[in-house]
Amino acid sequence: MAQKQKRKSREASDNSGRKSEYIVRHIASLDDGTHIIEHPDGRLERRKSETDWARLDALTDEEIEASIANDPDWSDDWNWGEAVLVIPPKKKAISIRVDEDVLDYFKKQGAGYQRRMNAVLRSYMQQKHKKRA
């Protein structure tokens, strides 16, 4: 079965009791209704679907329509003419020296630490540009 990259946000408590989000990767859907997911630390986990299929099957069309109408995020008024294509900038491989504790901090957050470090640097750059303008 081919792996699919699927973004799924899961909540986890860190040692301070705060909630933090991270991305898991969907590896496989199994015939018994369970899924295999991969955590950022490489750990695989088999999870049962959290969907209440019996409740969903019991919904009438009217209940579904009412649910949609009450959803503040729902809109059938999409104007794709205003959509903007965002092409990520090309990355350049470099060698950089950073403090060990800084690198450890980003690595402890799991896979994608270089992407997060880049995002922090980009945010800093954008703030500096705003101050000049």
Give residue 113's region: left, alpha or beta (phi > 0; psi -120 to 50): alpha
Q: What is the pTM of this model?
A: 0.38
pLDDT tens, 32-58?
A: 888 888 888 888 899 988 888 889 999
In a domain, 116, yes or no: yes
Q: What is the CATH number of the domain that holds 25?
A: 2.30.30
Give residue 112's region: left, alpha or beta (phi > 0; psi -120 to 50): left
In a domain, 20, yes or no: yes
* Nearest by Cα to 47 from 58, 57, 38: 38
Domain range enclosing 19: 1-50
In a domain, 11, yes or no: yes
Domain count, the chain: 2
pLDDT tens, 60-72?
A: 999 999 988 888 8
Q: Does residue 27 sit in helix, strand or coil?
A: strand
In a domain, 2, yes or no: yes
